[in-house]
Copies of this chain bind each other. A is one copy, B any other.
Amino acid sequence: MKKIKEFDSTLFQEELQKRISIPVGEFEKFFELWEFKHFKRNEFILKAGEIPKFSIFVLKGCLRQYIVNEKGEESIVYFAEERHWIGDLPCMRSKTISNFNFQAIEECELLTINADNWEQAFAKFPWWTEAHLTGYQKWASMLQQQMADLHTKTGEIRYLNLLKAKPALFQRVPQHFIASYLGISPETLSRIRKKIFNI
């Protein structure tokens, strides 16, 4: 993990402006709260059992958030590609141990914000709070929808839906990660693909 000072902050600013309009001159001050970090493929960014030190915006690369249960089985709950936000805010803010692992699937360039700076951003920039709140509201709704899909749709349907929704993901992450995210075994996903594409 190495730090670099110079890089292009346009992507970051653009992504924020998509959600909210930032008063002139405020982005620079806001941006100072963030730190650039670089991770290698397979490197752990945050580990379960530790207090998350920062929260993340993905500039480049792809990472996975997953949980390991008592039996040692992994379950991926989120993929963060470019322009995505990821982290365990409740645990970072309350300084408690997270249950989630965050690992780089590819080489990653990240912007990170630590707990103190997060609280500062929250206190100083109302537009940030607003964007954040709106984002979380939408996300929670999406997660509920996803839960209902797990209840009522077969693995095959969920696979086809994900393929439609995030085709690029399938080009960059191993198939067994997709299986884990869909909540099916790698073998089952292999058979689903055979059934769909072979005949």
Contact = CB atoms under 8 A, between A and B. Distances in A.
A151 B145 CA distance: 15
A172 interface: no
Contacts of A141: 88-91
Please give the count of copies of this chain that the complex contains. Answer: 2
A138 interface: yes
Contact of A69 (B73, B75, B89, B153): B153
B147 A146 contact: yes
A30 interface: no
B145 A67 contact: yes
A168 interface: no
A148 interface: yes
A144 interface: yes
Interface string A127-165: 001101110111111011111101111000000000000
A180 interface: yes
A183 interface: yes
A77 B152 contact: no
A117 interface: no
Nearest to A66: B148
A143 B148 CA distance: 12
A29 B42 CA distance: 52
A93 interface: yes
A78 interface: yes
Contacts of A65: 144
A114 interface: no
A65 B151 CA distance: 14
Interface string A68-93: 01010101011000000000111101
Interface of A: 65-67, 69, 71, 73, 75, 77-78, 88-91, 93, 99-100, 122, 129-130, 132-134, 136-141, 143-148, 150-153, 180, 183
